Structure 1
Amino acid sequence: MRLRSAVLALACAAGAVVAAPTAQATTTHNRADAASGWLARQFVNGDHLETDFGGTSYPDAGLTIDAVFAFASSGTADNYGAAALTWLAQPTVLSGYIGDGTEAYAGATAKTALAVQVRGGNPTSFGGVNLITRLNSLLTPSGRFSDQSIYGDYSNAFTQSLAVIALDRTPAGAPVSAVNFTAGTQCPDGGFPIVFGAPTCTSDTDATAVVVQALLATGRTTAAQQGLTWLKSKQQANGGLAYGDGSGTPNTNTTGLAGQAFRAGGRPLAALKARQYVLSLQANCTAPVSDRGAIAYDSTGINPNTVTRATAQAILGLRGAPFATLTSAGSTNGAPTLAC
């Protein structure tokens, strides 16, 4: 998944913190659990993740939600996921991320609503905001979900797909116009673009992986399977996938998301190959203790600037359910470490 603009990403200010979850010194041989445990130990004050920008660290609500999804996917670190939602519900944090109403960011609103649903909460009443009403208010007549912002409209395939998935998980379901718009963005080769309205439709691996999940959730199986076929054609010999048109160096962010989509769409061999690639880049018992369990972005190794986001998104390709059915129910507490 890709970052929003720097202006919007840094709009989230730090709020009051809650007590950090108690770390439980359990060990595990399960690689997904170890990755989740490493990710939990990166939390600041036990409730959120931060991103470095220009030498200064800022709270990153979007990355924190990625961790919530990762914890639910692995079924571990449940207390960290709970703390993250408590942190996100603070008015200053929430409004900085999704907008204050006058400013309203569709992608952030959809991602927050989905995180609340994954954790079994009520997205119609979160931090004093009805996220579902807010999200529906950003649906345009064309069926596209768009930002309402003086900074411009940064909505894209992730915005659209997460909105469709989040609304599909409500009793009313996803609006037909939104599903039609999503399916209608398909490129002639079967993949889906990250940006809408470009002169040439250019399929994107990350976009296709998340759009496919939205279409599968809403019954558009034919378009979804065409997307998966295109995505599978971009899987390299080592099981990895590269971002963009898929022709570059593979990375665990894209591969993790693709693995989740392969599993959702009934492509077990492709999902297994994606999983093996992700695991090949996980720091094991030969790595420094502080890195064990982390998943590098690519074959260049652990990079402090990319490893947290890479680990969060790579976990999705290890054994997690698709976004449409992802849940933290039954998860265990603690931040397990890799048994060595």
Structure 2
Amino acid sequence: MKKTIRGGIAPLALVLLGAMSLAACGGEAADDTDEKAYDTKTATQVADWLVAQAPKGVARNAQYGTDDFGLSADIGIALAQLDGHDAEVETIAKAVTTNQKAYTSPGFGTLTSAGSTAKALVLQQEADLPDSGLLEQLETTVADSGRIADVLEPKNKEAADYSNTIGQSYAVMALTEAESGKAEAAAAFLAGQQCADGWFRVTFAADPEAADQTCEADPKAVADADATAFAVLALQEVDSAEAEKAATAGVEWLKSTQAKDGSFSSATGNVANSNTTGLAGWALGEADEDKAAEKAATWVAEQVVTCGDAAGAVAFDDAALADGNEKGLTKETEGMYRLAAAQALPSLEWLPKGAAPEKSTC
């Protein structure tokens, strides 16, 4: 059965289940003519390409000759949003779990990466694997205020805390799913990072002990659609009036910043791209904002590479799409297409039938 970031049954599955139950009881099934028809071929193509990027569950960075467990987790979480990929998600989750120390305790002064631990636990939960100690490890990174922070080696002056709103969002997802005693505080802190207009910034207050750590107290705060999408996805899972209010405001801000062509732009460089558009489209779809989600999915579908061995990859932007179709991918560029595909894949669930562009001439 398809999983979602919420860990529940997809809305369409509920409709079909209800219709089947009515038929079995001799009643009339609900009229399904109003159900929207979504394209599945494009998502399947992208999913199949992503699966091939993580043989035995691990994405290998050919440029640097290293295993990329963070990207592997991104791929697994993305695949978990679609039907029919339980086996692949489990394979990836087991591989990341096997290597969780290398992923969540990377060294260089970082004893525990809060964001990596949270993402690894979300993946583990999506795969229905037993907790391998990640929950307790994550809980140790959550302060009384609810803010996550990396655990650093005290004597290493080069060590730095890289925790941020995206990691906090993963933490809220994981802690909420686990019904942790830390979940409420983590969610409240995340909701408190929202600025008045509804958006979220990526960074936290520089001083974790500051009395006011809110977005409004940060004169350098910059609206970020990626961070806002992650926060909305996380807060939609939380059963509280504060979280619901924040998620709703985040959705409204995302809708207001969507371009007419359906795309969303990154905060850095203000470039329309598939990573940001995919994440925003996913969040909007989960919030039942179908029209906005469909526009985002349509734009993302136009960034799917259709030529050669790279068919199914997702290009970051128009320039990368041309390169992917004409030149293929290189070990220096493949990571960009992999991450774009992982972040964009869930949004393609809302791609209307007939909206996918025809295959280009290769």
Provide the C-alpha distance between the structure 2 equivalents of 1:173 and 1:118, rounded to a whole number of angstroms.
20
State the match for 1:43 in structure 2: 54
Q: Which residue, out of 189, 200, 209, partners 2:229?
A: 209
Deviations for 1:247-302, whole angstroms, at most 9, x for unmatched residues? 72211111111111101222111100010011111123xx12x1222211111112
The farther-off stretch of 169-178 and 232-241 is: 169-178
Provide the C-alpha distance between the structure 2 equivalents of 1:174 and 1:299, rounded to a whole number of angstroms.
42
**Ranges in structure 1 where 5+ consecutive residues have no aligned partner:** 1-27, 321-337
Q: Secondary structure at the match of 1:242?
A: coil
1:17-166 pair list within 5 angstroms: 30-44=41-55, 46-52=56-62, 55-90=63-98, 93-99=99-105, 103-123=111-131, 126=132, 130-150=133-153, 151-166=159-174
Give the residue type in structure 2 aligned to 1:196.
F
Judged with a 3 Å threshold, the aligned counterparts in structure 2 of structure 1 residues 100 and 208 are, in CA distance, closer, same or farther, namely: closer
Provide the C-alpha distance between the structure 1 equivalents of 2:176 and 2:69, rounded to a whole number of angstroms.
23
Q: Secondary structure at the match of 1:75?
A: coil
Provide the C-alpha distance between the structure 2 equivalents of 1:166 and 1:69, rounded to a whole number of angstroms.
12
Q: Which has the higher contact order (CA 8 A, sep 6+)?
A: 1
1:1-340 pair list within 5 angstroms: 30-44=41-55, 46-52=56-62, 55-90=63-98, 93-99=99-105, 103-123=111-131, 126=132, 130-150=133-153, 151-172=159-180, 175-197=183-205, 198-219=218-239, 220-244=243-267, 248-284=270-306, 287-288=307-308, 290-300=309-319, 301=321, 302=324, 304=330, 305=333, 306-319=336-349
Provide the C-alpha distance between the structure 2 equivalents of 1:71 and 1:173, rounded to a whole number of angstroms.
29
What displacement does 1:174 show? 5.2
The structure with the largest alpha-carbon Rg is 2
Provide the C-alpha distance between the structure 2 equivalents of 1:275 and 1:60, rounded to a whole number of angstroms.
27
Say how many residue pairs are matched: 281
Provide the C-alpha distance between the structure 2 equivalents of 1:34 and 1:40, rounded to a whole number of angstroms.
10
What displacement does 1:49 show? 0.4
Q: Which structure: greater helix fraction?
A: 2
What displacement does 1:307 show? 0.8
Give the residue type in structure 1 aligned to 2:48.
G
Provide the C-alpha distance between the structure 2 equivalents of 1:276 and 1:119, rounded to a whole number of angstroms.
29
The farther-off stretch of 31-40 and 102-111 is: 102-111
User: CA contact under 8 A between 1:36 and 1:76: conserved in structure 2?
Assistant: no
What displacement does 1:77 show? 4.0
State the match for 2:26 in structure 1: none
**Ranges in structure 2 where 5+ consecutive residues have no aligned partner:** 1-38, 154-158, 206-217, 351-358
User: CA contact under 8 A between 2:57 and 2:95: conserved in structure 1?
Assistant: yes
Provide the C-alpha distance between the structure 2 equivalents of 1:120 and 1:70, rounded to a whole number of angstroms.
15
What displacement does 1:224 show? 1.1
Share of identical aligned residues, percent? 31
Provide the C-alpha distance between the structure 1 equivalents of 2:304 and 2:52, rounded to a whole number of angstroms.
16
CA RMSD of aligned residues (A): 2.3
Deviations for 1:200-230, whole angstroms, at most 9, x for unmatched residues? 3322110000111222211322211111111
Provide the C-alpha distance between the structure 2 equivalents of 1:149 and 1:199, rounded to a whole number of angstroms.
27
